[in-house]
Amino acid sequence: MTLTIFFFISLIIAGIQTAIPFLVNRSVIFGVTIPEKHLQNETLLAYKKNYAKLVGLLSIILLAGYALWSLIQTATEEQIVIGGILLEFVIILFSFSLYFYYHGKTLKLKADKQWTGNLKQIRVADLSARSRDEMLPWQVFLLPIIITVGVIGYTLLKYDLLPQQIPTHWGPNGQPDAFTEKTLMSSILMPLTLFVMQLMFLGIHLGTKKSGIKLSGESTEASRQRQLALRKYSSWLMFFVSFLITVLLSFFQLQIIHPDIISATAMFAIPLGFLVIILVSTIVFAVRVGRSDKFTIETTEEKLTDSDDTHWKGGLFYFNKNDPSIFVEKRFGVGWTINFANPIGYLIIFVPLIAILVFSFL
């Protein structure tokens, strides 16, 4: 079953990495802004197809090799886990290597063809877009937080029922395989870590909601549709993931207090079901956002928005101290990335992570 889990995860990763060039903002190819009239350039289309073919082919070879190796060699569970992690790492590393290769070629093609040399630089503002924003209200993120606070309180009330060895990790079979001595901190470590994660989710949601809705000067309606879809579906996905993680870890916490609350079979099935739901939800999110601007055709005066390539390093890292947005849409991938010139983003992401690391060593 461990082989099935890692094979399934690797297959999803391979599929997403293969399809990324066709899911990103249509006016951005390998992290480079391309004017609307040149999006169907044969060379650019060939770059995208070649990337997808190479990533897809390597993924098929690696996945087949991983499955055959695990079955023929009768690998141990530990070997399967290590092999699965290496497989995922190689697929991601190869896809990013190809991304940087085609990013450089796309930049060179854009410069050689002088596609933006004579375009008018403009700023695009649409005050009506906010009224169409369907992001979830921040208050819904309080629901998992309230559940976690309740679990922490219940754990403290039932402290005497806890075993002397507190489980800290569960294996692929759903059974605990690592323990620590019972203390007040170790008894609530899992829900406390969950609480910090929930605060981070809430912070990301608030930062995303306050970030600007960035529109293209050439395809205003298409970019508006994509931005609104990204904001709507990412808020739902973030809440859904936060809620599912809350249910899963709260269940594990209650199982520590009441070991007979559920059978060993269910302990194995529940995390597996959780993983499947998260992966499927991520795929649905990527497809819905990725296709949100694909069928809008606009013919407007050639213009170039002033947020083009200058603020993106390698097409992946966004630095713009004049932009108050904390998070912006990724240029390679589907979702959000930090405005690395805005220190609030660092606080939202890294402070909770540091707090979790500190808790784990207490």
Domain interval for residue 36: 1-114
H helical segments located in the chain: 2-19, 42-72, 77-113, 142-157, 184-210, 220-257, 264-290, 343-361
Question: Residue 215 in 3-state DSSP?
Answer: coil
Q: What is the pLDDT of residues 210-252, one digit of tens each?
A: 887 776 666 677 778 888 888 899 999 999 999 999 998 898 8
Would you say residue 300 has pLDDT above 60?
A: no
For residues 179 and 38, membership in a common domain is answered with no
Query: Are residues 140 and 52 located together in one domain of the fold?
Result: no
What is the total count of domains within the chain? 2
**Residue 77 shares a structural domain with residue 169:** no
Last residue of a domain, one of 114, 129, 152: 114
Tens-place pLDDT, residues 98-125: 999 999 999 999 988 887 766 555 555 5
Residue 336 phi, psi dihedral angles, 5° rounding? -120, 155
190 and 220 part of one domain: yes
Please state, in angstroms and rounded to a whole number, the distance separating the CA atoms of residues 136 and 142.
12
pLDDT at position 310 is 82
249 three-class SS: helix
Contact 141, 242 (CB under 8 A): yes
What percent of the chain is modeled with pLDDT above 90? 30
Note if the pTM is more than 0.85.
Answer: no
Given this model, what pLDDT does residue 48 score? 94
Residues 186 and 59 in one domain: no
Are 295 and 356 part of one and the same domain?
yes
Is there a single domain that holds both residue 135 and residue 31?
no
Q: Which of 80, 114, 148 is the last residue of a domain?
A: 114
